[in-house]
Amino acid sequence: PADVKDSDPKHIIHVTAEMAPIAKVGGLGDVVTGLARACLSRGHTVDIMLPFYECIQKQHVKDLTVITKYNSYHDGNWVPTNAYRGVVSGIPVIFIEPSNQFFKGQYVYGGSFNELEAYLFFSRACLEWMQQVTSTQPDIIHVHEWQTGALPLLYWDIYHHLSLKPRIVLTIHNMEHYGECSKEQLSKSGLEGSVYASIDKAVDDRTIGHNPERLSLLKGGIVYSNAVVTVSPTYLKETLCTGWLASTLLRNRDKYYGILNGIDTTMWNPATDIFLPVKFNDQKPEGKKFCKYYVQRGLGLASEGTQDGNHVPDITYKAPLVVCITRLVPQKGLHLISHAIKCIEELGGQMVILGKASDVQVETEFECLAKLHNQGPCIRILLMFSEELSHMLYAAADMVLVPSIYEPCGLTQMIGMRYGAVPVVRKTGGLADTVFDMDDQSNHNRANGFVFEGIDEGSLNCALDRAFMYYREKPDEWNGILKKVMEVDNSWNNTAGKYVELYNSKSVRL
């Protein structure tokens, strides 16, 4: 429950490249904000340290003030740096702003500065601020992804002797990005790069393509953190079996944990969501019908409602609306997403894709699909990032599609469920831990969606066919699933306690 207070409150500082909603690209931003809020409400002290990206909209930060001006080391120089304090969505944030070009640009990632060097700088600048400049003594420094993977190395190498002894926890949200780094680049942070260039430290240890010159900040983070977490139990198993970090993770198995992410129910609550035209919840789901109608009208999709919203057809209206809200990258099953368009059109449903591509070729491919379909009555492909639209789409959707090739945890299926959208997912990673098939007799109690295993189009067809069949021909059962998915508790209330246990555990020592 939300009012649990932990008996031994800790001071936790997250050091991260993303935070929702001000600097969010994907799930990392949501997770940091949600976990921080859950720990705050359990009585802990929590701060988030974030680069002061130029693209952050300052009006979303309350009480923004410069608190410290200091210098932090990078590449032979001490860079003048400002630390600001502010409050974002109720959570205290410390923003680190170097006076050089780092973190300038229109977006969180992809600016014209060297990203690897910028995050090396940031990792050190956070430690410098905590340990040297302000003597802040957190119990836990919680780092995330490769971007802050060098922080544990810097801590043990340079700062350890200065301070009380914080424990360092690393959460890996996605193994795909491992922060490839040369010795020379690592040396720019003030570490001696060659010291870390061995297999037991930070060197890339894959057998094929092994390169003794290549270091990985993620691997360094794994070796030098007190505890390492990944974001679902199934992804933990997958990462121990395959991928080049498998051997490193196996060697560190006794400090490696799988903790399922939660969703931040303050941000994701259909009963209070400021972006929805009508609010609803599991007790009063009627508003959802209007949200669907509203989105259909807004996007020019066929609908059976009328302008005043009073004659919206009930849920038995026969064109289910499927949404897919995603970064458009290979991990997400691009060929299955584009195949779904065809399949859903043939089945007489509607589909809205809200997606942002970072690769030009992928963007062009989806632009072509958008040109082909966006004038018709049943498909909309919206190539942008929009927090506001994402909320409206979850609320409008009958189903949320997540056909990922791999998925460490996945938040969209969980958010979808809370907003009354039934998940149709591929059985992988966190999707396998949160969605259970309606037709799986052995697990009927937990059944809450439609699951397929193959990465071929036929497997997807089969799952969509079954979902459409339930929607159209078994309205009672469909309403039953709807009620069930809205009631599932995938919130941090349910799972933050596992992180707190880890923050408290004394068993792992370097």
Question: What is the binding site for ligand ADP (CB under 6 A)?
Answer: 26-28, 30, 325-327, 354-356, 385-387, 390, 409-412
The encoded tokens of residue 8 equal 């031994």
Give min distance, CB of 435 to ligand ADP, in A.
13
Measured from the CB atom, the residue of 343 and 431 that comes closer to ligand ADP is 431
Helices 360-373 and 334-346: crossing angle in degrees, nearest 10, is 10
User: Could you tell me how far CA 427 lies from the centroid of its own chain?
Assistant: 18
Which residue number, 195 or 383, has a Cβ lying nearer to ligand ADP?
A: 383
CB of 481 to ligand ADP, least distance (A): 21
Distance separating alpha carbons of residues 56 and 24, to the nearest angstrom: 10
Place of tokens 């395959």: 242
The answer to whether the beta carbons of residues 122 and 147 sit under 8 Å apart is yes
- Please identify, using beta-carbon distances, which residue of 27 and 262 lies nearer to ligand ADP: 27
Which residue, 330 or 475, has its beta carbon nearer to ligand ADP? 330
Least distance in angstroms from the C-beta of 351 to ligand ADP? 15
Location of structure tokens 């199934």: 234
Cβ-based nearer residue to ligand ADP, 166 or 355: 355
d(CA 6, CA 3): 10
Amino acid symbol at 58:
K
Q: Which is nearer to ligand ADP, 73 or 385 (CB)?
A: 385
Strand arrangement of the beta sheet that strand 140-144 belongs to: 62-74, 77-88, 91-98, 45-51, 11-15, 140-144, 167-172, 227-230, 256-258
Q: How many angstroms separate the Cα of 169 from the Cα of each of 177, 201, 217, 220, 411? A: 18, 17, 14, 13, 21
Three-state SS annotation for 333-369:
CHHHHHHHHHHHHHCCCEEEEEEEECCHHHHHHHHHH
Q: Which is nearer to ligand ADP, 98 or 449 (CB)?
A: 449
Distance of CA 65 to the CA centre of its chain: 28
Closest to ligand ADP by CB, 73 vs 107, is 107
Backbone phi, psi, residue 263, to 5°:
-110, 150
Q: How far is the CB of 381 from ligand ADP (least distance, A)?
A: 11
Contact status, residue 465 vs residue 482, Cβ threshold 8 Å? no
Amino acid of residue 77:
N
Q: How far is the CB of 326 from ligand ADP (least distance, A)?
A: 5
Q: What's the min distance (Å) between Cβ of 107 and ligand ADP?
A: 13
Taking the least distance from each CB to ligand ADP, the nearer of 138 and 355 is: 355
